[in-house]
Structure formats: C-alpha cells, structure tokens
Structure 1
C-alpha cells in the first residue's frame, strides 16, 4: 500500500509548483543520495541500449541513484542497469497500478528494494497530461539530466525544457547524424554536453567503492566531495577516523574518497 511522503524535498523547489501531494513505496533514504535523471525514447537503438545500461551501472557503482520514469525503452534499461536498490521510478498513475504491464516485475522489485514515487492517488490511471507531470518530477529529482536518445518533439525533449528552466546541466550520447535528431539538436545549439567516455563521465561522481568499503551514509556523503567543515558537522569524529584508515583524503579543504 502506498504512503504519503511528508518530508520536504529541496530539489523539487525548482518545479513550476511544488507537488501538493506525493505518494511512495520503498526506501526514502535514496532521496538523500546523489541523483541523476536518465530519459529517452521508448524504441532505442542497440547502441543506445548498451550505452544506457553501461552508464546507469557505472553511476550506481559510485553511489549515484538513477531516476527515471519506468516506461518501456530507455527508462527500463536505466532502472535495470542501476539495479533495483539504486533507482527511483516516478510513475504517472496511482501506486496500486503497475504500469506499463510489461514492467510489472521491474516496478515490484523497485518498490521492495528501491523507491517508487507518484503525485497521483491510488486508482488513478495514466493519461497524456499525467505523463507530462511525471516528466517534470523525474527531471527535478536529478542533479543533472541525461538524454540517451530522443526524437524531435518527443516527451524526452519536453523533459529537456524542464531541465533548461531549472538550470540543470544536460548530457547526451553522441549519435549518428540521421538518428536521435533531438539530442543532436541539443549538441548543435550547445544546450547539452556529449558523453564521450562513460567511465570518465561517471568518475565525476566519485570512485567505485572497494568491496570492503561499506556503502553507508558516510560513503554517499563523501561522493559529493563535501568540504571538511561540512563533513565534521555531519559526521564528527568519523571524518578523522576515516582519514586515519585511509578511506578518505582531505585536500584544500575538500573531502574525497581515497
């Protein structure tokens, strides 16, 4: 059964109007992690499929939570690449409905291990306008927006409009000249940055944790490269212990994972 989300989410202040209600199933702790929104076409090319999966997986390994819309195509691949425990699915219907039907198993897994959000009451069935509402929430939650493939005048390009209004950086995959005309246009107008190497791009969010390093709140906090003062305020002596153990380094007042 869905629950009402009562905590304030600062990232949503960039929306045209802060949601009057939010419903959820799953782990609200994901809201505290670095987040990247990934969107794109429902009919991706094999190249886009492979790159989207690899990209989501590389981000998740660095403690980043991948946000998408649970639709077929790029959304599905982004959720799967990140893993159910590292993803937030935003849906355009009530949470008692798992839509689209083909993704029922995926959505059920995210409800259990990740987080599913909706602005709609139980019983509400998706409509054209509710997908638009869903798209704005997907964009708002992410620190940045990645569009892996999109046609002109597509839903993904409307998501881009939200990102531009919110002042978020937009990244795209480089595509062939006659494919993904929407993302190619974003590069031409210099409204987006091309991801030429996935590992290099993902490394902006920190390093991959060794198997022996627990991915706890401290790990996710340090992935954001906080200041030494911010770290002390949040975790106190844990900062000194982590430095002594070689888990972190402190350079020029910035804390980073070693």
Structure 2
C-alpha cells in the first residue's frame, strides 16, 4: 500500500527545498540506519559490475543501508547486492508504476522487504525531467555519494552536482584512462576520492577495523611470481585494482607482491 510519510526526515535537510510530500512503500525504519548512496551508468562494464556488487554487499555486512534510484545498470546491481532488506530505492515515477519494467521483480522485492520512496503522486509516468528530482533525493539520503562509473555528460553527473552543493563526500571506483571519463575527471579536479580497497573504505567510514581477515586468493597466486599474461588470463579484473593500490608490481613481464 502506498502511504505518505507524515514526519520530517532530517537527512533531506540538505536538499535545496524540502519535498512537499514523500510517498513510500515498505520499511521506514531503514531511514534510521547509516546510509550510502551509490549511482552510475545504466551500461556498466564488467569491472564496474563486479566492484559495485562487492562494495554494496560489503556495506550490508556492516549494517550500512544502500540508497539508489532503481534504474538499470549500477542502480540495480547495488540494490541486489545489498539485498532488498537493506536498500532504499527512490523512484522517478509514482509508486504505482514499477519503472523500468526490466526491474519490476527487484522493485517488488524492495516494496516487500526494503523501502521505496517517491516525491511523485500516483499515476505520474516516467518523464525526463522527473529524474533530476529523483537524483537529488537519492544523494540527500546518503552520508556520502559513490559514483561507480559515469560518462562526462551523463545524468549521473547531475547527481554529482547535487552532492557538491550539499557538501557530501564523493567517492568513485578507480578506472583506466579512457574509461568512465566523468569520474576520472572528478579525480583530476580533486572533487572525489578513489576507492582502491573496499575494506579500507568501509573501515574509514564506520570508524573501526574489520578484524576478520580473509585469505586473498589473488595475492597468494601472485606470490608465485606468475607472468603478467598468465595473471590477465586468470584474474583479468583484479590485476588493475591491485596494481593501483600498490599491492603488486609488474616488472619485466612478471607480477610481484609488494
């Protein structure tokens, strides 16, 4: 059942103008949890898919609620990895319309187990100018904004503009040159911080160390000093991340643990 929020949500005070009304389906108690907003392209590459999933899943393990916009791509990955029980989705339509249709099952799961929010009354269809309004609410609900991947002139970068106006910390996944030009430009301009290590990022965010150390199959493999080509065949997504974070070094075609 679609209801209207009848109390003030302090997290939304960072918005330029507090919404006239907010409609919801689901568990309002999620608004009391610590929250991080995750946004990004509707067409993420494999690297982004993997680390958006790992990041949202790790946040959930630390009882941090994931906020996103229920769109295809990064949004859907973040919601699914966080599990419907630990996610808030903000719609760009009335809540009687499950949009986009490809995410209908996901949205239904969030309605039943998490929280769906919208500033739009029922029967409001998908319209282009609705989504910047939706994006502002997504950004406002999070303590910080994570941009997983974005083109320079994409709608995702509109969310970045909101975060800057709200003085929200902005974090991005590290990408190769020529990929995710929007987030790389944020790094170039010192407007965002790159996430090189998910555990370290969460440790800093929650303020304590994760004492449970898991074995790292990738680093164990690299201790055998494999060739770069062999590592690329076995761990194509990890070698770039670990090299950027300084955990490995590639010299003369061989991979060494630093």
Structure 2-normalised TM-score? 0.80
d(CA) in 2 for partners of 1:66 and 1:29? 13
Structure 2 unpaired stretches of 5+: 213-258
1:18 equivalenced with 2:18 (yes/no): yes
d(CA) in 2 for partners of 1:208 and 1:75? 26
1:131, CA displacement in angstroms? Answer: 0.6
1:26, CA displacement in angstroms? Answer: 0.3
d(CA) in 2 for partners of 1:195 and 1:85? 25
1:75 equivalenced with 2:75 (yes/no): yes
2:147–2:183 contact (8 Å) kept in structure 1: yes
1:11, CA displacement in angstroms? Answer: 1.3
Q: Give SS of 2:145's match.
A: strand
d(CA) in 2 for partners of 1:130 and 1:172? 25
2:199–2:210 contact (8 Å) kept in structure 1: no
d(CA) in 1 for partners of 2:211 and 2:80? 20
1:36–1:142 contact (8 Å) kept in structure 2: yes
1:3–1:24 contact (8 Å) kept in structure 2: yes
1:62–1:209 contact (8 Å) kept in structure 2: no
Query: How many residues in Structure 1 have an aligned counterpart in Structure 2?
Result: 210
* Structure 1 counterpart of 2:52: 52
1:7, CA displacement in angstroms? Answer: 1.3
Structure 1-normalised TM-score? 0.80
Provide, for residues 181-230 of structure 1, a one-character-per-residue CA deviation record: whole Å limited to 9, x for no partner.
000000000000000101111223256799xxxxxxxxxxxxxxxxxxxx
Provide, for residues 46-100 of structure 1, a one-character-per-residue CA deviation record: whole Å limited to 9, x for no partner.
0000000000000011010000000000000000110100000000001111000
d(CA) in 2 for partners of 1:155 and 1:170? 16
* Structure 1 counterpart of 2:148: 148
Change (3 A) 1:16 1:207: same
d(CA) in 2 for partners of 1:36 and 1:167? 14
Whose relative contact order is higher, 1 or 2, with alpha carbons under 8 Å and at least 6 apart? 1
1:39–1:75 contact (8 Å) kept in structure 2: yes
1:123 equivalenced with 2:134 (yes/no): no
* Structure 2 counterpart of 1:136: 136
1:37–1:67 contact (8 Å) kept in structure 2: yes
d(CA) in 2 for partners of 1:202 and 1:110? 24
* Structure 1 counterpart of 2:2: 2
d(CA) in 1 for partners of 2:211 and 2:30? 17
* Structure 1 counterpart of 2:185: 185
Structural mapping, 1:1-258, within 5 Å? 1-203=1-203, 204-205=205-206, 206=208
d(CA) in 1 for partners of 2:85 and 2:23? 18
* Structure 2 counterpart of 1:246: none
Provide the alpha-carbon RMSD of the alignment. Answer: 1.3
